[in-house]
Amino acid sequence: MNSSKTTKGYTRLAGYKVLSFDKISSTQTYAHDMIASGEARDCTAIVAQAQYAGRGRYRRNWVSHHGNLYVSFIFSCDERDSRLAYAVAVAIVDTIASYGIRAEIKWPNDVLIDGKKVSGVLIEYAGRFVIVGIGINVLTNPTVAEYKTTKLADYADVTVLDLFNRLSKNLEKWRKADFNSVRQRWMDAAAGINTMVKYRGEMVKLIGINDSGALVVRHKNEYVLIHGDEIFM
Ligand code: BTN
């Protein structure tokens, strides 16, 4: 990946126009700016070697030192689709599996190794586009109060460029796959299926995901659908 401070030239990789930076505030924020200014195109990837204002879900920071992968993919989209989150999770798990590492998915798309978070995904919609922001810990993992973290370097030799290459290919594959195959693969890789998890202070049984991408849990004798909340294992 390019190491200059503010590269404006695009390169091409795995079907994506790739814009690389050494350090920027956030690839996600940069993607929003591109959309707002009319510069954004379908299948653009913004990659940074480090971020000084990386953003996570629930307005958390995403600590972004050099040595890890920080990328935001921009795709054209007509409407919100909650199923995309699962395709992304499966693409990350397959990418990690390609190095011989077994990873699991914590709903909807946190990726864990040995129960510790190695990757997070932030999906945001803007105008006619969706931005898929992915962070994967390769060389360093931050200490985070809310959960345990880990990094790929503890399990295999991984370079960020090779990781990005594999991830881009897997994302293309799973984004275009039919949702039944995505759901099947997601269920295979999901942590805690058929176990009790905590949802809004209640213990519920994790059943899986349905056709439209909602999480299905059982509370006492009732099946409940969850869209975009957090469950605790
Ligand atoms: C999470 O909270 O689990 C989501 C983390 C998403 C982090 C990625 S790193 C690349 C992109 N740029 C950001 O500022 N955030 C996302």
Evaluate: CB of 108 within 6 angstroms of ligand 1: no
Annotate 110-140 with b (16+ C-beta within 10 A) or e (fewer).
Answer: bbbbeeebbbbbbbbebeebbbbbbbbbbbe
Q: Which atom of ligand 1 is nearest to the CA of 29?
A: 14
Confidence of residue 8 (pLDDT cuts 50, 70, 90): low
For residue range 157-202, list pLDDT tens digits in order: 999 999 999 999 999 999 999 999 999 999 999 998 999 988 888 8
Looking at the fold, whether 209 and 141 belong to one and the same domain comes out as no
Is a pLDDT exceeding 80 seen at residue 233?
Answer: no
- Please give the Cα distance from 97 to 91 (Å, whole number): 10
Contact assessment for residue 14 and residue 168, using Cβ atoms and an 8 Å cutoff: yes
Confidence of residue 4 (pLDDT cuts 50, 70, 90): very low
Picking from 117, 4, 107, 124, the residue whose alpha carbon sits closest to that of residue 68 is 117
Query: Residue 132: inside a domain, yes or no?
Result: yes
Looking at the fold, whether 201 and 173 belong to one and the same domain comes out as no
Task: Please compute the mean of the pLDDT values over residues 62-87 and round it to a whole number.
Answer: 94
Evaluate: CB of 197 within 6 angstroms of ligand 1: no
Contact assessment for residue 66 and residue 47, using Cβ atoms and an 8 Å cutoff: no
Looking at the fold, whether 57 and 162 belong to one and the same domain comes out as yes
Looking at the fold, whether 31 and 136 belong to one and the same domain comes out as yes
CATH number, domain containing residue 144: 3.30.930.10
Looking at the fold, whether 83 and 23 belong to one and the same domain comes out as yes
Q: State in Å: Cα 1 to ligand 1 middle.
A: 19
Q: State in Å: Cα 30 to ligand 1 middle.
A: 12
Evaluate: CB of 66 within 6 angstroms of ligand 1: no
Looking at the fold, whether 222 and 119 belong to one and the same domain comes out as no
pLDDT reported for residue 229: 60
- Please give the Cα distance from 222 to 200 (Å, whole number): 16
Query: Residue 1: inside a domain, yes or no?
Result: no
Looking at the fold, whether 213 and 125 belong to one and the same domain comes out as no
Percent of the chain with pLDDT over 70: 94
Evaluate: CB of 27 within 6 angstroms of ligand 1: yes
Q: Which atom of ligand 1 is nearest to the CA of 28?
A: 12
Query: Residue 31: inside a domain, yes or no?
Result: yes
Is a pLDDT exceeding 90 seen at residue 13?
Answer: no
For residue 54, give both structure tokens: 């990386």
* For ligand 1, mutation pick of 24, 62, 147, 160 (most atoms within 8 Å of CB): 62
Question: Nearest C-alpha to atom 15 of ligand 1 is from which residue?
Answer: 55
Report the chain's mean pLDDT, rounded to a whole number.
Answer: 91
For residue range 127-167, list pLDDT tens digits in order: 999 999 999 999 999 999 889 999 999 999 999 999 999 99
pLDDT reported for residue 131: 97
Looking at the fold, whether 168 and 211 belong to one and the same domain comes out as no
Q: Which atom of ligand 1 is nearest to the CA of 71?
A: 10
Looking at the fold, whether 29 and 100 belong to one and the same domain comes out as yes
For residue range 21-57, list pLDDT tens digits in order: 999 999 999 999 999 999 999 999 999 999 999 999 9
Contact assessment for residue 122 and residue 57, using Cβ atoms and an 8 Å cutoff: yes
Looking at the fold, whether 119 and 203 belong to one and the same domain comes out as no
pLDDT reported for residue 107: 80
Looking at the fold, whether 185 and 200 belong to one and the same domain comes out as no
Q: State in Å: Cα 211 to ligand 1 middle.
A: 27
Query: Residue 210: inside a domain, yes or no?
Result: yes
Domain carrying residue 219: 196-232
More confident residue, 231 or 95: 95
Query: Residue 176: inside a domain, yes or no?
Result: yes
Looking at the fold, whether 60 and 104 belong to one and the same domain comes out as yes
Question: Nearest C-alpha to atom 2 of ligand 1 is from which residue?
Answer: 56
Structural domains of the chain, count = 2
pLDDT reported for residue 7: 55
Q: State in Å: Cα 47 to ligand 1 middle.
A: 12
